[in-house]
Amino acid sequence: MSNLAVLFSILGTVIVTFFGSYWVNKTINDRGDQILSGVVEGLPVSAKTRWLMLFTQWLPYTAFFIVFLLVVGIGFIEVGHGVEHPRVRLVAYMCATMCVGGATFWGVLGSFLFTNMLSVVREADREQE
C-alpha cells in the first residue's frame, strides 16, 4: 500500500475514533452524573438502582473505553512499524500516543471517579435505610 493511502487510512481511523470516543465519553459522564445525583430524566431513583447503574452501565462503558483506546493505539503502533516513510510513521505514532494517553488518563480518572461514586452511593444507601 502506498504511503499516501496509509496516511489517509490513519487519518480516517483517527477521525472515526475521535467521534466514537466523544460519544462514549459523553455517555460515561452523563451516566456518572445520574449516579451521583440520583436523578434520571427528572425522576429520583433509589440507591439500589444507582448501584445497578454503576456496575452494569458506568463501569462496563469505562472499561470498554479504556480497552478500545488501547487496541486502537496498539493498531497505530503496528501500522507505524510497517510504514516506510518517516513522516507517515510519525503520524501513526502520534495517533498511538493520543489513544494510549487517553486510555491512561481514563484509567487514572476512572478509578478516582469510581471511588467517588462508590462513596456517594454508599451514603445514599445508608440514608434510605
pLDDT (tens digit per residue) in 19-37: 999 999 999 999 999 999 9
Please give the pLDDT value at position 1: 67
pTM metric for this prediction:
0.88
**d(C-alpha 92, C-alpha 41), whole Å:** 41
Nearby residues of 45 by Cβ (< 8 Å), 6 or more positions away: 34, 38, 39, 53
How high is the pLDDT of residue 36? 96
pLDDT of 3 reads: 82
Q: What is the pLDDT of residues 33-82, one digit of tens each?
A: 999 999 999 999 999 999 999 999 999 999 999 999 999 999 999 999 99
> What is the largest distance, in Å, between two alpha-carbon atoms of the chain?
65
In this structure, the number of other CB atoms found within 10 A of the CB of residue 55 comes to: 13
Tens-digit pLDDT profile for residues 70-122: 999 999 999 999 998 999 999 999 999 999 999 999 999 999 999 999 999 99
